[in-house]
Structure 1
Amino acid sequence: MTTAPPTPPDTDAAAFVAALRRLKAWSGLSYRRLERRAADAGHTLPYSTAATMLGRERLPRAELVAAFVAACGVRGAEAEAWLDARSRIACGAADAGRAAVDAGGSVGLAAVDAGSPAWRPAVVTPPARSEPMEAVPLRRPRPLRWAPVAAAVILTALLGGALASGDLTDDEEIRQSRTAYDVTEAR
């Protein structure tokens, strides 16, 4: 790492993530090593989260950027520059969204006046549909969990009753004596 690390762009989220990829390449570290170095610096950065962060085009959270930059070996003012660039991109996207909403566009960001917090969730009404909505098939109801237990109880009761009445017994002596008695009676 004799050359200077890449500098963060202020343009958009995709360019920022591309610069983070260049920073990882500059560090020469694997995702597992980045995870360990972030832990050594007092941050939490699972290797899967770092890989996912670099595989997307969305702006990562500030704490992930701080952990990633620290793990790559960037410290001090250079690390602050990465966080400042991330904040400028995030605020710039919010400003662009506000401008589009003020101009009558439907972006999905709430129009924010100067006195309200910028993190307020947006209330967006869906556009009117010209075609009818298609029917959503109904899901089958979940089978009852107690049904197998009830079936087992009923089956046990029926078998118990049959055994008690002697219908299912296989006692050969009783049959022979009844048959012999019935034969002698019939004569």
Structure 2
Amino acid sequence: MTATPPPSPSAATDEATFMAGLRALKAWSGRSFRQLERCASAAGDTLPSSTASTMLGKNRLPREELLVAFVRGCGLGEENVRAWVVARTKIVDGTAAAPIAAPLRHATWRRPVIVAAAALAMAFAGGAAVTALLAGGSIDTEETVVVTR
């Protein structure tokens, strides 16, 4: 293990980012798959090295028991184990915070809406002018503002 803190699962919002985090955790631990197996066994868990290797080669969430054994095998304590389990549960439940999507640059609905709004504004302006002419007034009207003190 290094002096840097271990990778956190807090940024994981989907299976792919979660699994990337687990791969980073293994790299952080500096342990081989055989060493992970031995460390997990010392903690009372079962983690065959081939299973851990296969798990990291995919972008699917591991079973919870496998995740716990892997995180313990990487040398992390129960607080970190809980954090990884909670992150996994949020992804499974669909409650993980999804990244904010960037707005569409060329939304197909914008142009028709803008054209319709402009046409509506012109219709209102034209209707007001016609109403003023029919009422015997003129389009050019003045307003007088009286200020009293």
TM bucket, shorter chain: 0.5 to 0.7
CA distance in 2, matches of 1:10, 1:31: 23
> Which residue is equivalent to 2:92?
90
Match of 2:43 among 41, 44, 65: 41
CA distance in 1, matches of 2:20, 2:38: 22
Q: What is the deviation of 1:10?
A: 3.4
Contact 1:10 1:88 in 2 (8 A): no
Q: What is the deviation of 1:79?
A: 1.4
2:45 counterpart letter in structure 1: H
> Which residue is equivalent to 1:75?
77
CA distance in 1, matches of 2:27, 2:12: 20
Q: What is the deviation of 1:77?
A: 1.4
Q: Which runs of 5+ in 2 are unaligned?
A: 96-149
Q: For this pair of structures, how many residues does the alignment match?
A: 93
**Secondary structure at 1:57 match in 2:** coil
CA distance in 1, matches of 2:77, 2:89: 18
Question: What CA RMSD, in Å, does the superposition of the two structures yield over aligned residues?
Answer: 1.1
CA distance in 2, matches of 1:57, 1:72: 19
CA distance in 1, matches of 2:68, 2:81: 7
CA distance in 1, matches of 2:82, 2:73: 14
CA distance in 2, matches of 1:48, 1:76: 24
**Secondary structure at 1:4 match in 2:** coil
CA distance in 1, matches of 2:12, 2:25: 15
Match of 1:29 among 17, 31, 47: 31
Contact 1:17 1:54 in 2 (8 A): yes
Q: How many percent of aligned residue pairs carry the same amino acid? A: 56
1:2 counterpart letter in structure 2: A
Higher radius of gyration, 1 or 2: 1
- TM score, norm. by length of structure 1: 0.48
CA distance in 2, matches of 1:72, 1:36: 10
4+ residue runs of structure 1 moved beyond 3 angstroms? none
